[in-house]
């Protein structure tokens, strides 16, 4: 059996390698045809109308926040249970981040606390919200949309954990994370630890043509060559920089890797869900361990399988001694020194703090073998029965 066992690992097939090699031998290493192709297959996968591929999800969040019009002084709501970029993208644009506590079952931003926060401030105080489909759990975005509409807010969905996840809305429709039925923009990451990898990479999806055009412009310096958009006519060499953008492009090698990975994406979520079933069954009647919640109208993508245990440090160390590298995700973002310096403090958000004390992400990736998973389960049961 292969040891140590990490909490997540990429899955690269021979076909994936071949796709990258072919691209290296082609005429384009960047700005070539592999990029729109990847955007197309990814958009189909998440049921999006438009997709913009970029160099990582942090860049995707940044151009999303720019396209949504975040300006210095704008107030935006964000979950504290996430990777730093979900909130940082608001700071990049000079906005203020207001953290709202999580729900203790789903670990998503608590919709009741959201409503309380909005009701307690004058209308118009908050311009939008960043919602994170934490661990792969899709929000019931229909409910959040109702709240957002009531207050005239936009929704930026960080679905870095959730490609392939969906929930059923009140019309009975399967709503994929990324479809944009209820969110304005949805962002994904292709970092090696995520479901689909391009080494580094990200995608921003939307149904809104205007937001799409803006993001495509910000991805590449704010420069356009589209004749219909140019302010003057000149030779075919002529382009215009119309806004201040960045170089957030992805390469053709990365895009080709992504397209190749997409062929196994749906299947890999199924494999993850099989692993979940096995973990859940093993821990079902064991006191002292809480397994993840999943509502009946939800298809959770399980980027992470997170348990809650009383003695988290003890279990973490015990697993490590046995070459099992479980992981703790995340330390509350509002308590990171940077955000503390902006006025956040311990005790502000008790639910996420309690979550953090007990959470542990167990190994969860499609190539985790039966023997490896058995070992993880055996060691956890052994620790809990001491």
Ligand X SMILES: *Cc1c(COP(=O)(O)O)cnc(C)c1O
Draw the binding track, 113-142, toward ligand X (x: CB under 6 A; -: no contact).
-------------------x----------
Please say whether the beta carbons of 214 and 67 come within 8 A: yes
User: Residue from 7, 20, 42, 56 that binds ligand X (CB under 6 A)?
Assistant: 56
Q: Which of residues 152-191 bind ligand X (CB under 6 A)?
A: 158, 160-161, 189, 191
- The torsion region of residue 173 among left (phi > 0), alpha (psi -120 to 50) and beta comes to beta
User: Residue from 95, 199, 202, 366 that binds ligand X (CB under 6 A)?
Assistant: 202
For residue 3, the minimal CB distance to ligand X (Å) is 26
User: Residue from 10, 23, 85, 183 that binds ligand X (CB under 6 A)?
Assistant: 85
Q: Are strands 223-224 and 240-241 parallel, antiparallel or unpaired?
A: antiparallel
Task: State which H helix or E strand residue 176 sits in.
Answer: strand 174-176
User: Residue from 10, 23, 58, 334 that binds ligand X (CB under 6 A)?
Assistant: 58
Question: Which residue is listed with tokens 């589209």?
Answer: 226
Strand (E) positions, 238-367?
240-241, 289-290, 298-299, 305-309, 359-362
Span from 80-88, 91-99, 141-149, 283-291 in contact with ligand X (CB under 6 A): 80-88
Q: Which of 213, 244, 211 is nearest to 226 (CA)?
A: 213
DSSP string, 26-92: SS-SBSSTHHHHHHHHHHHHHT-SEEEEES-HHHHHHHHHHHTT--TT-EEEE-SSS-THHHHHHHH
In angstroms, the Cα distances linking 70 to 1, 109, 127, 337 are 50, 20, 8, 23
The residue with its CB nearest to ligand X is 57
Q: Which of 210, 159, 218 is nearest to 183 (CA)?
A: 159
Q: Which of residues 306-365 bind ligand X (CB under 6 A)?
A: none
Please say whether the beta carbons of 167 and 140 come within 8 A: yes
Q: How many residues bind ligand X (CB under 6 A)?
A: 14
Task: Check residue 372 for interaction with ligand X (CB under 6 A).
Answer: no
For residue 356, give both structure tokens. 């953090």
Task: Check residue 78 for interaction with ligand X (CB under 6 A).
Answer: no
Task: Check residue 251 for interaction with ligand X (CB under 6 A).
Answer: no
For residue 206, the minimal CB distance to ligand X (Å) is 17
For residue 310, the minimal CB distance to ligand X (Å) is 26
User: Residue from 23, 82, 183, 308 that binds ligand X (CB under 6 A)?
Assistant: 82
Span from 39-47, 52-60, 223-231, 258-266 in contact with ligand X (CB under 6 A): 52-60
Q: By CB under 6 A, name the binding residues for ligand X.
A: 56-58, 82-83, 85-86, 132, 158, 160-161, 189, 191, 202
């Amino acid at each position: 059996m292969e040891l140590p066992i990490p909490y997540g690992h990429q899955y690269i097939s021979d076909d994936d390698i071949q796709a990258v090699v072919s691209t290296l031998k082609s005429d384009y290493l960047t700005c070539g045809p592999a990029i729109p192709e990847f955007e197309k297959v990814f958009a189909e996968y998440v049921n999006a109308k438009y997709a913009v591929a970029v160099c990582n999800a942090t860049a995707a969040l940044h151009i999303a926040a720019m396209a949504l019009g975040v300006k210095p002084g704008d107030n935006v709501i964000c979950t504290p249970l996430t990777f730093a970029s979900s909130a940082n993208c608001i700071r990049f644009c000079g906005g203020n981040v207001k953290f709202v506590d999580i729900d203790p079952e789903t670990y998503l931003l608590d919709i009741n606390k959201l409503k309380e926060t909005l009701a307690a401030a004058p209308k118009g105080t908050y311009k939008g919200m960043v919602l994170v489909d934490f661990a792969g759990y899709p929000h019931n975005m229909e409910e959040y949309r109702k709240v957002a509409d009531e207050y005239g807010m936009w929704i930026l969905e960080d679905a870095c954990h959730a490609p392939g996840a969906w929930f059923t809305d009140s019309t009975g429709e399967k709503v994929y994370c990324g479809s944009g039925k209820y969110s304005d923009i949805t962002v994904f990451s292709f970092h090696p630890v995520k479901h689909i990898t391009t080494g580094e990479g990200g995608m921003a999806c939307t149904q809104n043509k205007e937001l799409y055009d803006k993001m495509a412009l910000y991805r590449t310096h704010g420069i356009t060559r589209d004749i219909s958009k140019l302010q003057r006519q000149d030779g075919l060499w002529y382009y215009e920089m119309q806004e201040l953008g960045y170089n957030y492009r992805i390469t053709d090698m990365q895009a080709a890797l992504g397209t190749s990975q997409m062929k196994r994406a749906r299947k890999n979520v199924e494999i993850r869900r099989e692993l979940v079933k096995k973990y859940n069954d093993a821990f079902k009647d064991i006191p002292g361990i809480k397994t993840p919640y999943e509502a009946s109208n939800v298809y959770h993508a399980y980027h992470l399988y997170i348990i809650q245990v009383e003695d988290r440090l003890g279990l973490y160390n015990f697993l490590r001694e046995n070459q099992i590298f479980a992981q703790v995700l995340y330390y509350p973002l509002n308590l990171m020194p940077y955000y503390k310096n902006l006025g956040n403090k311990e005790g502000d958000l008790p639910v996420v703090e309690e979550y953090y004390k007990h959470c542990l992400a167990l190994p969860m990736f499609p190539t985790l073998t039966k023997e490896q998973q058995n070992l993880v389960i055996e060691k956890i049961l052994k620790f809990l029965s001491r």
